[in-house]
Amino acid sequence: MKSSIVIADDHPLILRGLLDFLTTEGYPILGSSSDGQTAYNQILKYKPDVAILDINMPIMSGLEVAELCLKNALPTKVVLLTLHINEKYFNQALEFKVQGYILKELALDQIEECIKLITAGKTYFSKEIDAYLDPDHIDNQPTEAMKQLTKSELKIVKLISKHKSSQEIAEHLSISVRTVEKHRSNIVKKLDINNKPTSLAIWALINKRLLFKF
């Protein structure tokens, strides 16, 4: 029998996508919500095998729910979903014995493997997070693709690695948002990464140490 699940995310499309995918794969969904308090109440009531939680939610964050699960010795294993690679959040997740930590962009691709591993007593972290947090996982020298970036493109990708939005980058460099977006498009092509909304940000974070060697 597949693991029972509670899901919470305040982004309706992500919540619906996960619900549809896991239901199709035969996982029993015991509860779903868009805030941490409701999610915690459902965990207390149903004792699911796994709780899949957005880190940032109204009323109570996914990290706060994980902390309560640990304090109250609940059997539910917690998987956190995040939009950003954030070392502070990651360290808190480890402190609260979170078993899974996945980037939202990769959730549908990785969630089933994550569930299987954590219910077998192991942990699962998106490899992109591992690569960012452990510099030994990445090259120590700039790649040929990185060397193709212009000075303007390097400035932009460095700011992206600091979680700056296109609007903030435009203001910082005194250029238009449209120009920033054009640079972003060119950077994606030169680096040969996919064009998902957060792919460049993930790449920039993983390679942040190398970028600032230029």
Reported as a single tens digit per residue, the pLDDT across 188-212 is 999 888 777 667 877 887 777 778 7
For 177, phi then psi, to 5°, come to -60, -35
Q: Per the domain annotation, does 91 fall within a domain? A: yes
21 Rama class: left (phi>0) / alpha (psi -120 to 50) / beta? alpha
Determine the Cα–Cα distance for residues 63 and 203; give it in Å rounded to an integer. Answer: 25
Summarize pLDDT for 49-104 with one digit per residue, the tens: 999 999 999 999 999 999 999 999 999 999 999 887 777 888 788 889 899 999 88
pLDDT at 129: 73
One-letter identity of residue 189: K
The answer to whether 40 and 71 are in contact (CB under 8 A) is: no
189 Rama class: left (phi>0) / alpha (psi -120 to 50) / beta? alpha
Question: Is residue 77 domain-shared with residue 117, that is, in the same domain?
Answer: yes
Question: Is residue 77 domain-shared with residue 171, that is, in the same domain?
Answer: no
Question: Is residue 52 domain-shared with residue 119, that is, in the same domain?
Answer: yes
Question: Is residue 121 domain-shared with residue 155, that is, in the same domain?
Answer: no
Determine the Cα–Cα distance for residues 159 and 28; give it in Å rounded to an integer. Answer: 42
Determine the Cα–Cα distance for residues 190 and 1; give it in Å rounded to an integer. Answer: 46
Q: Per the domain annotation, does 138 fall within a domain? A: no
Question: Is residue 120 domain-shared with residue 175, that is, in the same domain?
Answer: no
Question: Is residue 96 domain-shared with residue 184, that is, in the same domain?
Answer: no
Residue 32 pLDDT exceeds 60: yes
Question: Is residue 55 domain-shared with residue 125, that is, in the same domain?
Answer: yes
Q: How far is CA 128 from CA 84, 110, 176, 199, in A?
A: 11, 12, 31, 10
Q: Enter the pTM of the model.
A: 0.67
Question: Is residue 106 domain-shared with residue 20, that is, in the same domain?
Answer: yes
Question: Is residue 121 domain-shared with residue 195, that is, in the same domain?
Answer: no
pLDDT at 4: 97
Instruction: Tally the domains of the chain.
Output: 2
What CATH number is associated with residue 11? 3.40.50.2300
Question: Is residue 9 domain-shared with residue 96, that is, in the same domain?
Answer: yes
Q: Per the domain annotation, does 139 fall within a domain? A: no
What's the token pair of residue 58?
């109204």
Question: Is residue 81 domain-shared with residue 179, that is, in the same domain?
Answer: no
Q: Per the domain annotation, does 29 fall within a domain? A: yes
Q: Per the domain annotation, does 201 fall within a domain? A: yes
Determine the Cα–Cα distance for residues 180 and 166; give it in Å rounded to an integer. Answer: 6
Domain of 91 in residue numbering reads as 5-133
Question: Is residue 174 domain-shared with residue 118, that is, in the same domain?
Answer: no
